[in-house]
Amino acid sequence: MNLQCFKVTIQDQWALLEMARPEKLNVIDEGMLLELETILKGFREQKIKAVVITGQGKAFAAGADVAAMAAMDCKQAEQFSSLGNRVFQGIEDHPAIFIAAVNGYALGGGCELALACDLRLASEKASFGQPEINLGIIPGFGGTQRLPRIVGAAKAKEWIFTGQRFSAQEALEAGLVSRVLEPEQLLPEAQKLAEEVAKKSGPILALAKQAVSGSGMGVTPAHGQQEATLFAKCLATEDGPEGLKAFVEKRQPVFNDR
């Protein structure tokens, strides 16, 4: 497989999946999403039981591609959001257990990628956030659906409505991550967890994952489509395009509530 955005290392029946664009803080664009979708299909065919996903460099993933979104119309925005939702839904529906090893910034789409995983471990240096509101948009890759299911509606609303970043310790206290580790311990502990999971029966792991999702913790494609529709409506306002343009131009947005 000729990969441009990821590095994949197979270890027995588990895999290490690294986002490999550190110079861009692993920002998620259309090409990265399509490549991830292909990788997920390959993991199914190879019967991989567990996947550790992390980011190279100082970021897990610092968000979605704002410059690309700033050039989108409503239809293109809905297609982009639908693609992100579809790919991240592919993680949630995948028979493998996905472990996010969050090593740095997990913002916007990066936070949503971590949310789509089954387990999340964080470095002490990790920071999380859904800052989309500051750009005049809303989370578009499942954040409005998964975050409240994981941390509860009150905390999710606070984080989404304010767009503030929160620390690894705050993420632990909210139940977003299960462990906070020293930076040098993060990847070894995540890999150790993947090795332990990979000792189990693959079909039984898949059934256990399906059962937990069926308990009300999971997200469905319908949830994602609702979010994509609302995400696209942001681009039909005056404030949405202004927020995105302001980010690209490195200035404060001027919102006129229109």
How far, CA to CA in Å, does 106 sit from each of 63, 70, 205? 7, 21, 27
Query: Is the distance from CB of 60 to CB of 19 less than 8 angstroms?
Result: yes
The beta-strand segments (E) located in the chain are 6-11, 14-19, 50-55, 59-61, 97-102, 105-107, 119-123, 127-129, 165-167, 179-181
Strand partners, 121: 101, 179
Which H/E stretch holds residue 154?
helix 153-162
From residue 98, how far is each of 70, 113, 124 by CA, in Å?
31, 10, 20
Amino acid at the residue 176:
L
Write down the residue that tokens 């994981």 correspond to. 150
Catalytic residues: 112, 132
